[in-house]
Structure 1
Amino acid sequence: MSASTSGGGPLSPQAAAEFQEGIRLVFGRWTALQMAVENEWGGRDSRAKADQLAASIFSWFANSKGPFYYEDLEDMMFDSMSESFHTDCEDGSVGEVAVHLLTMHEECLQNNFSSIEKLRNTRPQGNVVSQSRQVANEDDDDSSDDDDESSMGEDVAARSEDMAVDEPKPSKPTPDADGWTTVPPRRGRGKN
């Protein structure tokens, strides 16, 4: 994906303030970042590191003439998460956050703050990290740790409902033509 947004000139003072607030709101809903902060994956100053990431992102937009490339922003966020929090975000959330920030910046250049206003008015329900843990516990962690992280916390409730659906369980594994037996996942084990 090589999408970019135009430079469009500097943000007005109001647009700059709105954009900073938008970055803060997006980062507050980014589960991977919030887990890194809460669990102090970046050490005791994890909150300060998250705040510095937000400031660096704002500075990148404010001090560059553009065009702003998706890959550059995504790489910067991947590097920061890796270096500051020792975290490799392979859940697609970095890309989603990058797209959201690029869109929000483009809107702010046009003095359109509707997406930021929407974020302000749709507070995440409870703590994004605790919601992620709830989903992980319901999933019984049968695969990788990346599956329990939603990008912005908005899909957690929907995913939780999807996981509540009971699927029919095979009665007994049967060997295939080569004599190999497929073992079903351990989902639901220990919940009886």
Structure 2
Amino acid sequence: MDSINRNHHQHVHGETNTGTALQDGIILLLSRWYALQLAVQNQWGGCDSLQKFHHLVAELLSLFSKSNAPVPVEDLENLLHESMLLTFNTEIEDGSIEQ
């Protein structure tokens, strides 16, 4: 997703992107998720879909950064499912969230 890759160094949550390895990894993985790519490219979350993508990156970064303990898979799946449903108006039933 070219627009995501080109713009991932823009502001996230009002702070500049620090280019951390974790954040870069999250962006890379999400930019390869076909369902999310479609949602952003087709603006299923509205005209600010790219900003919503960056908000999701920030949410995931926060989830992984706030604790030294491993993040339960169920918490991650729930966050992704809710984000796709509520933010991008997209119901994911292809198993890609679990992947």
Counterpart residue identity of residue 21, structure 2: E
Aligned residue pairs, count = 81
Preserved CA contact (<8 Å) 2:77 2:98 = yes
TM-score, scaled to structure 2: 0.77
RMSD of the alignment, in Å?
A: 1.2
- Residue-by-residue CA offset, 1:48-69 (whole Å, 9 max, x unaligned): 0011101100111101342311
Preserved CA contact (<8 Å) 2:63 2:71 = no
Equivalent position of 1:130 in the other structure:
none
Identity %, equivalent residues? 44
TM-score, scaled to structure 1: 0.41
Q: How far 1:42 sits from its partner (Å)?
A: 0.3
Q: How far 1:43 sits from its partner (Å)?
A: 0.2
Larger Rg: 1
- Residue-by-residue CA offset, 1:2-51 (whole Å, 9 max, x unaligned): xxxxxxxxxxxxxx811111111111111000100010000000000011
Runs of 5+ consecutive residues of structure 1 not aligned to the other structure:
1-15, 97-192
SS in 1 for 2:20: helix
Pick one of 29, 49, 53 that aligns with 2:56. 53
Pick one of 43, 47, 53 that aligns with 2:46. 43
Q: Distance in 2 between matches of 1:44 and 1:64?
A: 33
Pick one of 32, 35, 54 that aligns with 1:29. 32
Q: Distance in 2 between matches of 1:31 and 1:75?
A: 18
